[in-house]
Structure 1
Amino acid sequence: MTLFPTRRHSILAAAVAAVLALGAIVPAQAQTASDRAAERRAERDAKKKRSDGTEQQFPAATRTPPEVKGSAKARPKLEKMIKLYDDDKGDEARVVADEIIANEAFNAYDHAFAAQLASQAAYNAGDEAAAIAYMRKAVELNALDNNNHFNAMLMLSQVQMQEEGSLAEGLATLERFLTESGSTKPDHLAMKGQALYQLEKYPEAAAVFKQLVDSNPEPKDQWLSLLMSSNAEMGKTDEAIALAEKIAAKAPDDKKKQMNLAAVYSQADKFDKAAVILEKMRAAGQLTEDRDYKILYSTYLNMEGREKEVATIINDGLAKGILKPDYQTYLAMAQSYYFSDQIAPAIDAYRKAAPLSTDGETYLNLARLLWQEDRIPEAKEAAKQAIAKGLKKPDDAKKILALPAK
């Protein structure tokens, strides 16, 4: 009768996945209610200066800005809409904006300006679908000056990227923005790289972030991290490790960067190096979450002859109240004791793990171990529990139940 599957089939002996926390792409939001009006007025004043030619945000744009300006007929409505928005009455401002957009006597600039303001009001209210519709209209009308036109297009791409299922559409909008505006700003290119990464287009993402890293004397850590991760996803292990080491060396006390380095080592099957990093973090008190300890003991489970350390780590995590006393934890402990020939504590750990399992397989392993130790009555009881909890193949449990009493 086979006692256990080989250790490489352990459910906890899988390579640790990269621990990357990618920031969401989000547009700038309104600040507190007390300073919104002043901020908005200042922003509009700045836009007026830019539209007068004192500051063009997109000097390399291929688009020739239209000559059309706001109509005299629409001015009272536009002013009312602006005042409502400045007074933090976004819903009422949207009502007036809709009236302006629907009025055929007003020109394209009136409509586009109203749509742009309504889009921000809708976004501030959490109505992303309406915000997208308004922004799309503001762009399609093609009536705003370059600064407002391209900023509307940029915000449209950002909000689209936030919406579930619209990431590819947002990337397409961003590509159009980059082409037509001529922008080469690093933050705009980084948005493109992150979108490509999220769409799992790793070679394209890597190309963007490599360009950013190579062209900037002090590249941002996020660019390096995403370049590292893109390389790792493409199987370019050496490049990923070199970048991870560079990032981690610059920030020895940064938990996320050290965890990323350990993850890249694990992906490259360099579990000994990963363990060194993680053990330093444990000694420094940086392993503060349940998953941190699980990553550490899973790393040891992937290393030949290092099973004994797993139980030590688990007991440490449980004693500190960091590790949760759940099924995975007790199963890993049981395997650690078993594969390091500590049978009695292995049995105790299996007894804790088995009731927490969703099926009877862990009870069956307990029964096999008790049978191996010639503890037949206990083995039979565990076999009964295994059958009661559910087994795909109950024959082994039935064989144990059929053993003669001693």
Structure 2
Amino acid sequence: MSKSYRRPLTVALSAALGMLVLAPVVHAGPQSQTMSKQEERARRRAELGQGQQKQEEAKPALYPNATRQAPEAKASPKLMKHLQELQSRYEKDDWAGVIAKAEELAAMPTANAYEKSFAYSMAGNAAANMDDQAKAGEFFAKAVEANGMDNDGHFSTMYNLAIIQFSNEQYAESLKTMDRFLAESKSDKPEHLAFRAGVLANLDRHDEAAAIYKDLVAKNPNDKRLLMNAVAALQNGDKFDEANVLLESAYKRGMLTEKRELRALYIGYMNAQRWDDAKKVIDDGVAKGILQQDADLARDYQILAQNAYMDDKIPLAIELYKLAAPLAADGEAYLNLAKVLDYADRKAEAKAAAKQALEKGIKKPEEANRILAR
């Protein structure tokens, strides 16, 4: 066969190479973002005179820089029994009972702003625990609107509202709530800023999301979750080179320890046509046991093999197809191997590979049969 003739391979490089898009990671669970369930219950018991008030008062504020002036309204003696009953139902995980009592209490003509906020926030947590996210959002919104709790309770509830809106795919509403939350609470906590970035990403405002994530990564270089969120935002914003810089830095520091993380890096290298770098990462991942011998790895080996073939690196292409073929779900990699071996005038090996291709199944068996007929 003339060396100037190239038999087309089965897998087209342009079709096989897709960017790896990682979904932004956002934790969205009610009540757990700013204080634990135990802390929340202790705070509420203290407010109702059932806990160690002095200890609660001595605890640092969650939002020390808040611009909101906390209201002075507290639970009135007249409704204290109702509030304590509400708290008791909550402690017993009686979520339906909590909601019924909260609605009853909030509707009382004598209920003040604090009592309404307290009742609605309890109902919101109860609805969230019942997985009724829509109802939880309604109750949290009412709790914020009543504006009766101290800053810790008020902003924790507002943050929960933003999370519930996010989980309900109400991204514009969630962003509006988060913007208010950050403006009024003046929080600079990474989890709050990262959550806003996640909302922006889901609104396809990837450049803004990436800017926030990159700033957070610069301040928290060892936080892998932030790093991968930044990579996802940059990739979605078509800023592959910037994503590769972050991943490469993390790789050199030994941070990429999972399959999806290594794939993000070496597929980023492939998209940048840095084939040798991609192969080094794959080899390293296989050697360390991070990359498993599976169909994903077979496909990625084939991409590298096809590039080697097109660059006239025939021995390397053969080596890579030999790695890919046993892992692939079908016989297409064996067929490609047979074609490259045939091109290299290694007829006996080409025929053996063609037979294996037919045994595993290929879309065009006539191509393997042509090699076998020579």
TM-score by length of 1: 0.74
The aligned counterpart of 2:156 is 151
Deviation at 1:284, TM superposition (A): 2.6
Deviation at 1:117, TM superposition (A): 0.7
Verify: 1:312 aligned to 2:322, yes or no: yes
Letter in 2 for 1:258: L
Deviates more, 1:100-109 or 1:132-141: 100-109
Deviation at 1:152, TM superposition (A): 0.3
From 176, 179, 183, the counterpart of 1:179: 183
Residue 63 of structure 2 contacts residue 151 of structure 2 at CA under 8 Å; is this kept in 1? yes
Distance in 2 (alpha carbons) for counterparts of 1:40 and 1:23: 25
Residue 71 of structure 2 contacts residue 148 of structure 2 at CA under 8 Å; is this kept in 1? yes
The aligned counterpart of 2:165 is 160
The aligned counterpart of 1:42 is 42
User: In structure 2, do the counterparts of structure 1 residues 71 and 45 end up closer, same or farther at CA, with 3 Å as the change threshold?
Assistant: closer
The aligned counterpart of 1:72 is 77
Distance in 2 (alpha carbons) for counterparts of 1:212 and 1:271: 30
Letter in 1 for 2:116: H
Verify: 1:269 aligned to 2:270, yes or no: no
The aligned counterpart of 2:91 is 86
The aligned counterpart of 2:369 is 370
Deviation at 1:24, TM superposition (A): 3.5
From 101, 108, 112, the counterpart of 2:106: 101
The aligned counterpart of 2:212 is 208
Deviation at 1:178, TM superposition (A): 0.7
For residues 7-406 of structure 1, the aligned pairs below 5 Å read 7=9, 10=12, 14-18=16-20, 20=22, 22-27=24-29, 40-44=40-44, 55-163=60-168, 165-214=169-218, 216=219, 218-251=221-254, 254-256=257-259, 257-288=261-292, 290-305=294-309, 306-317=316-327, 326=329, 329-341=330-342, 342-350=350-358, 352-354=360-362, 362=363, 365-370=364-369
Deviation at 1:202, TM superposition (A): 1.7
Residue 200 of structure 2 contacts residue 208 of structure 2 at CA under 8 Å; is this kept in 1? yes
Aligned to 2:27, what secondary structure does the other structure show? coil
User: In structure 2, do the counterparts of structure 1 residues 316 and 276 end up closer, same or farther at CA, with 3 Å as the change threshold?
Assistant: farther
Residue 351 of structure 1 contacts residue 366 of structure 1 at CA under 8 Å; is this kept in 2? no
Q: What is the percent sequence identity of the aligned residues?
A: 29
Deviation at 1:368, TM superposition (A): 4.9
Letter in 1 for 2:332: L
Aligned to 2:125, what secondary structure does the other structure show? helix
Distance in 1 (alpha carbons) for counterparts of 2:365 and 2:195: 52
Letter in 2 for 1:353: G
User: In structure 2, do the counterparts of structure 1 residues 55 and 255 end up closer, same or farther at CA, with 3 Å as the change threshold?
Assistant: closer
Aligned to 2:16, what secondary structure does the other structure show? coil
Aligned to 2:68, what secondary structure does the other structure show? coil
User: In structure 2, do the counterparts of structure 1 residues 39 and 55 end up closer, same or farther at CA, with 3 Å as the change threshold?
Assistant: closer
Aligned to 2:180, what secondary structure does the other structure show? helix
User: In structure 2, do the counterparts of structure 1 residues 297 and 81 end up closer, same or farther at CA, with 3 Å as the change threshold?
Assistant: same
Residue 266 of structure 2 contacts residue 279 of structure 2 at CA under 8 Å; is this kept in 1? yes
The aligned counterpart of 2:346 is none
User: In structure 2, do the counterparts of structure 1 residues 40 and 55 end up closer, same or farther at CA, with 3 Å as the change threshold?
Assistant: closer
Distance in 2 (alpha carbons) for counterparts of 1:39 and 1:182: 22
Give the count of matched residue pairs: 347
Residue 106 of structure 2 contacts residue 119 of structure 2 at CA under 8 Å; is this kept in 1? yes
Letter in 1 for 2:297: Y
Higher RCO (Cα < 8 Å, 6 or more apart): 2
User: In structure 2, do the counterparts of structure 1 residues 212 and 366 end up closer, same or farther at CA, with 3 Å as the change threshold?
Assistant: same
Residue 307 of structure 1 contacts residue 339 of structure 1 at CA under 8 Å; is this kept in 2? yes
Residue 120 of structure 2 contacts residue 143 of structure 2 at CA under 8 Å; is this kept in 1? yes
User: In structure 2, do the counterparts of structure 1 residues 289 and 159 end up closer, same or farther at CA, with 3 Å as the change threshold?
Assistant: farther
Deviation at 1:112, TM superposition (A): 1.3
Deviation at 1:28, TM superposition (A): 5.3
Deviations 1:27-81 (A, max 9, x none): 2568xxxx97x65543435776698586332233232222322233322111101
Aligned to 1:340, what secondary structure does the other structure show? helix
Deviations 1:213-251 (A, max 9, x none): 34x264522223333333344343443222111111222
Residue 12 of structure 1 contacts residue 332 of structure 1 at CA under 8 Å; is this kept in 2? no
Distance in 2 (alpha carbons) for counterparts of 1:295 and 1:44: 55
Residue 351 of structure 2 contacts residue 371 of structure 2 at CA under 8 Å; is this kept in 1? no
User: In structure 2, do the counterparts of structure 1 residues 169 and 351 end up closer, same or farther at CA, with 3 Å as the change threshold?
Assistant: farther
Deviation at 1:372, TM superposition (A): 7.0
Letter in 1 for 2:151: N
User: In structure 2, do the counterparts of structure 1 residues 310 and 29 end up closer, same or farther at CA, with 3 Å as the change threshold?
Assistant: farther
The aligned counterpart of 2:345 is none
Residue 14 of structure 1 contacts residue 302 of structure 1 at CA under 8 Å; is this kept in 2? no
User: In structure 2, do the counterparts of structure 1 residues 199 and 275 end up closer, same or farther at CA, with 3 Å as the change threshold?
Assistant: farther
